[in-house]
Amino acid sequence: MDSEKLSKAVLALVQLVARLRSPGGCPWDAAQTDSTLKVYLLEEAYEVVQAVESRSPQDVCLELGDLLFQILFLAQMAAERKEFDFIDVVEKITQKMIHRHPHVFGRARVKDAADVAANWSKIKRAEKGGCREMSSVLKSIPDNLPALLRAHRLSERAAKLNPHFENQGDFSESLRPHLDALADAVDGHDPDGVGRRMGELLFTLVNIMRQWRLNAESILRDFNQSFVERFETMERNLKASGINLDEATAEQFKAAWNNAQDVVRKS
């Protein structure tokens, strides 16, 4: 990487953001606040994820640029309030990563990625004041994360604090009590109970997936896309047969849906 080119590129972008916010710059940019920018920050982060999933290097590059712009914008507003600037942001994250990788920048020794994760958790707790109550540790996980991702992080954090949180038995045995409780709520025509039991079941499923080194948020995003592709394929097949989707009989719908599944699997 050309360090001089990198320095010039970052400096040019920082100066561009400052100009947009300055008198004579852009009225819309000048009117933004931390609160108004939150929405754009989230949107850009999700667009980065979508670009990564599409496996398009060009799209990933563009979306990372959009996300970086939002980060610089937030840093510029903080600098205007004399709180911190982008240099502080870069220096602090550099210091943090060096401190949390003693096996790379220090004398610590690790056997594998699991050792790295365990050390990371210990170092992070020490940075935040050592031992704290469980509730305060879990509260550090943002509550505005997507629900499945937050459930993953909550169970992950709990397991790092105490390995007994991990499932010690058969996964089917872990699910059975929740399925039975859900069935009882359904049989009892208890909407609130169904909601509670469904929540317990979802959280348990997320925890099981995490233990298999899977991420429920990513899995459901992938399945959502598969569902869209299958549904659109079914709709096209019905239309090619002269049948509108909203007019298809149960038999026609089922046949087209099953056929669409075979087509999507082969693609």
Query: What pLDDT, in 10s, does the model give residues 157-209?
Result: 888 777 766 665 567 788 889 999 999 999 999 999 999 999 999 999 998 88
pTM: 0.64
Backbone φ and ψ of 145, nearest 5°? -70, 155
Identify the CA nearest to 259 among candidates 224, 228, 235: 235
Per-residue confidence band for 263, with pLDDT thresholds at 50, 70 and 90? low
The predicted-structure confidence for 117-158, as pLDDT tens digits, reads as follows 878 878 877 777 655 555 566 777 888 888 998 999 898 888
Q: Give the whole-angstrom CA distance, residue 160 versus residue 246.
A: 50
CA distance 26 to 84: 22
Distance of CA 17 to the CA centre of its chain: 27
User: What does the alpha-carbon distance between residue 116 and residue 127 come to, in Å, rounded to a whole number?
Assistant: 16
Give 67-86 pLDDT, tens digit per residue: 999 999 999 999 999 999 99
Position 116 confidence tier, pLDDT thresholds 50, 70, 90: confident
Domains and CATH numbers, the chain: 3-99 (1.10.287.1080), 132-214 (1.10.287.1080), 218-266 (no CATH)
